[in-house]
Amino acid sequence: MRKKISIFVCLCILAYGANAQKPDSNLISRFRPGFLWFYGGIRPSKLVDAKKYDRLVVDVLYNDWINKNQPLFKNHWSSIGFNIQTIFDIPFNSKNTVGLGIGLGYGHSRIQSDYFLNHVDSNQTTILTEIPLNSGIEKSVFTVNKIFVPIELRFRTAGWKHFKFQLGGRIGYQFLGQTHLFSKNNSGLEVETITSGFKDLDPFLMSVHARIGIRNWALTASYNLNPYFKNKQSTTLNGLELGLSISLF
Q: Which residues of 167-198 are buried (b: 16+ CB within 10 A; e: fewer)?
A: ebbbebebeebbbbbeeeeeeeeeeeeeeeeb
Q: Are 127 and 15 members of one domain?
A: no
Q: Are 56 and 143 members of one domain?
A: yes
Picking from 142, 65, 153, 59, the residue whose alpha carbon sits closest to that of residue 106 is 59
Tell whether the model's pLDDT for residue 61 goes beyond 80: yes
Phi (first) and psi of residue 26, to 5 degrees: -70, -20
Q: Are 37 and 114 members of one domain?
A: no
Tell whether the model's pLDDT for residue 185 goes beyond 90: no
Tell whether the model's pLDDT for residue 10 goes beyond 70: no
The rounded percent of the chain whose pLDDT value lies above 90 is 43
What's residue 19's pLDDT?
A: 42
Q: Are 37 and 71 members of one domain?
A: no
pLDDT category at 198 given cuts 50, 70, 90 is confident
pTM: predicted TM-score of the whole model, two decimal places: 0.75
How many folded domains does the chain comprise? Answer: 2
> How far apart (Å, rounded) are the C-alpha atoms in residues 210 and 244?
11
Contact (Cβ atoms closer than 8 angstroms) between residue 245 and residue 211? yes
94-129: pLDDT as tens digits: 888 999 999 999 999 999 988 888 888 778 888 888
- For 38, the domain range is 1-43
Q: Are 34 and 60 members of one domain?
A: no
